[in-house]
């Protein structure tokens, strides 16, 4: 098959890694795969500069940007139509909101035989203005009517879309986000890395793996930190990732007098994250908007329990009382209490970690994800 994936940008992020693994899986099966993306500048890092499957054809559309811009969006739409017309793809698979709307519409206009989309995280969510949510829902309804199938990385995404009236339930299918977990499953704590980061031997480590951006929950963790440090003074907070909020977060930490306790590791290449997760005692994943939290899957693969919110697809991997603990949303006191509960109970941490390893090994293989999608493409193009 001739397969085309469309995504707004290829930063270092979950949706982008998911897309790249799908491309790799289908290239290995002998399909011809093209990736169409917009420019990918920014502090998150450019994924394609770090890893790119052999044989993947990459086309950059300069006007395919994340921000809403009527003039650039029109140019991107026309560019996508031209690419689809010239290449005669069997399948167009779009990812994320902007690329999903423009890409599905353009593919529909060019009569692509099979048009599909993956919901990695809904653009509409509770912590956003009603006007923005209305606009996003309207755009998603428009695009849903112009594709054959919609995948979602978590059942929660489907429930939200159906409730919003975007498309009927039978149009959706859960395909859990695949990732390469072998390195996480085999990873062991690296004393040299621990020493380089300045983490004292025996100190508890609360980790985060997320861009330093709004809605990722770092502000709540900082607010919870004084209570945690008061009970466990040697605790270190290890923040993996970079972004526009770094200076602000550093200032908040300094104002609390907790510079000694916070370690800003910066942008870590995806292939190196597995070196850091074994150093963590607990992963704190406090995102307010999440499709399927890859960071939680990676931590659990390393045997690290998670404290997170019961939002979106998170409870499908952070099983409360089995693989981690779910905290009250945006409640620093409850977050602190849940983290301290795990810090004080090594046996519970071990049990949660073992349960987590078993769960993620079964559900989140990237080759399994690619195979499920390939079989659906074959059914769709033959019908």
pLDDT tens digit sequence for 282-325: 999 999 987 788 899 999 999 999 999 999 889 999 999 999 99
Report the pLDDT value the prediction gives residue 195, as an integer from 0 to 100.
95
Q: What count of other Cβ atoms lies within 10 Å of the Cβ of residue 141?
A: 14
Q: Map out the domains of the chain as residue ranges.
A: 2-178+365-382, 182-363
The pLDDT tens digits of the residues spanning 142-181 come to 999 999 999 999 898 899 999 999 999 999 999 998 888 9
Report the pLDDT value the prediction gives residue 245, as an integer from 0 to 100.
94
Q: How far apart are the first and last CA of the chain?
A: 14
Q: Which of 285, 266, 261 is nearest to 276 (CA)?
A: 266
* CA gap 334, 340 in Å, rounded: 10
The reply to whether domains 2-178+365-382 and 182-363 share a CATH topology is yes
Instruction: Give CA separation, 350 vs 1, 121, 310, in Å.
Output: 45, 30, 22
| Residue 75 confidence (pLDDT) above 80 | yes
Instruction: Please give the helix or strand (H or E) that residue 265 lies within, else none.
Output: strand 262-266
- Walk across the sheet containing 32-37 and list its strands: 57-60, 32-37, 2-7, 91-95, 114-119, 149-152, 172-174
Query: Topology of domain 2-178+365-382, per CATH?
Result: Rossmann fold (3.40.50)
> What average pLDDT does the structure give for the chain?
94
| Residue 372 confidence (pLDDT) above 90 | yes
With H, G, I as helix, E, B as strand and everything else as coil, classify residue 262: strand
Can you count the helices (H) and strands (E) in the chain? 15, 13
Instruction: Please give the helix or strand (H or E) that residue 340 lies within, else none.
Output: helix 332-343
| Residue 363 confidence (pLDDT) above 90 | no
* CA gap 254, 269 in Å, rounded: 27
* CA gap 144, 121 in Å, rounded: 15
The mean pLDDT of 62-86, rounded to a whole number, is 95
**Quick one: how far is CA 236 from the chain centroid?**
24
The mean pLDDT of 218-222, rounded to a whole number, is 97
Instruction: Give CA separation, 14 vs 37, 124, 177, 179, 209, in Å.
Output: 15, 18, 8, 9, 11
Report the pLDDT value the prediction gives residue 285, as an integer from 0 to 100.
97
Q: Which of 72, 92, 82, 66 is nearest to 13 (CA)?
A: 66
* CA gap 228, 335 in Å, rounded: 9
Does the pTM surpass 0.85? The reply is no
The mean pLDDT of 85-112, rounded to a whole number, is 97
Q: Which CATH superfamily is domain 182-363 in?
A: Glycogen Phosphorylase B; (3.40.50.2000)
Report the pLDDT value the prediction gives residue 356, as an integer from 0 to 100.
96
* CA gap 229, 52 in Å, rounded: 42
With H, G, I as helix, E, B as strand and everything else as coil, classify residue 260: coil
With H, G, I as helix, E, B as strand and everything else as coil, classify residue 57: strand
Q: Which residue has the higher pLDDT, 123 or 142?
A: 142
* CA gap 5, 20 in Å, rounded: 9
The mean pLDDT of 61-87, rounded to a whole number, is 95
Upper half-sphere CA count for residue 375 (Cβ side, 13 Å): 7
| Residue 128 confidence (pLDDT) above 90 | no
Cα angle 318, 324, 326 (rounded to 5 degrees) comes to 75
With H, G, I as helix, E, B as strand and everything else as coil, classify residue 266: strand
Report the pLDDT value the prediction gives residue 291, as an integer from 0 to 100.
77
Check: CB of residue 5 under 8 Å from CB of residue 34: yes
Q: Which of 122, 123, 87 is nearest to 6 (CA)?
A: 87
Check: CB of residue 279 under 8 Å from CB of residue 199: yes
With H, G, I as helix, E, B as strand and everything else as coil, classify residue 35: strand
């Amino acid at each position: 098959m001739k397969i085309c994936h469309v995504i707004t940008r290829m930063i270092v992020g979950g949706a982008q890694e998911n897309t790249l693994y799908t491309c790799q899986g289908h290239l290995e099966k002998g399909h011809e795969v093209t990736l169409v993306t917009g420019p990918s500048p920014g502090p998150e890092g450019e994924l394609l500069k770090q890893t790119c499957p052999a044989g993947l054809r990459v086309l950059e559309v300069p006007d395919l940007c994340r921000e809403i811009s009527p003039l650039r969006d029109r140019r991107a739409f026309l560019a996508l139509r031209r690419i689809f017309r010239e290449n005669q793809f069997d399948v167009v698979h779009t990812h994320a909101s902007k690329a999903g709307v423009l890409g599905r519409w353009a593919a529909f206009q060019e009569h692509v035989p099979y048009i599909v989309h993956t919901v990695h995280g809904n653009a509409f969510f509770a912590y956003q203005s009603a006007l923005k949510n209305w606009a996003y829902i309207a755009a998603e309804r428009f695009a849903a009517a112009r594709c054959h199938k919609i995948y979602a990385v978590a059942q929660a995404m489907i429930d939200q879309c159906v409730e919003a009236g975007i498309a009927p339930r039978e149009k959706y299918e859960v395909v859990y986000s695949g990732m390469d977990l072998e390195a996480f499953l085999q990873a062991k704590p690296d004393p040299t890395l621990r020493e380089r980061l300045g983490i004292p031997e025996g100190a508890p480590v609360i980790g985060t793996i997320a861009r330093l951006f709004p809605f990722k929950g770092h502000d709540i963790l900082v607010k919870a930190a004084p209570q945690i440090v008061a009970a466990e003074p040697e605790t270190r907070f290890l923040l993996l990732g970079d972004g526009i909020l770094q200076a602000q977060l550093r200032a908040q930490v300094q104002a609390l007098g907790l510079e000694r306790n916070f370690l800003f590791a910066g942008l870590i290449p995806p292939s190196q994250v597995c070196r850091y997760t074994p150093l963590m005692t607990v992963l704190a994943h406090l995102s307010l908007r999440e499709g399927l939290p890859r960071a939680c899957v990676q931590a659990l693969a390393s045997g690290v329990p998670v404290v997170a919110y019961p939002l979106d697809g998170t409870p499908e991997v952070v099983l409360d009382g089995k693989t981690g603990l779910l905290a009250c949303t945006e409640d620093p006191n409850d977050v602190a209490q849940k983290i301290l509960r795990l810090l004080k109970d090594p046996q519970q941490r071990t049990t949660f970690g073992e349960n987590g390893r078993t769960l993620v090994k079964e559900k989140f293989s990237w080759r399994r994800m690619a195979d499920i999608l390939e079989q659906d493409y074959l059914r769709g193009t033959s019908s």
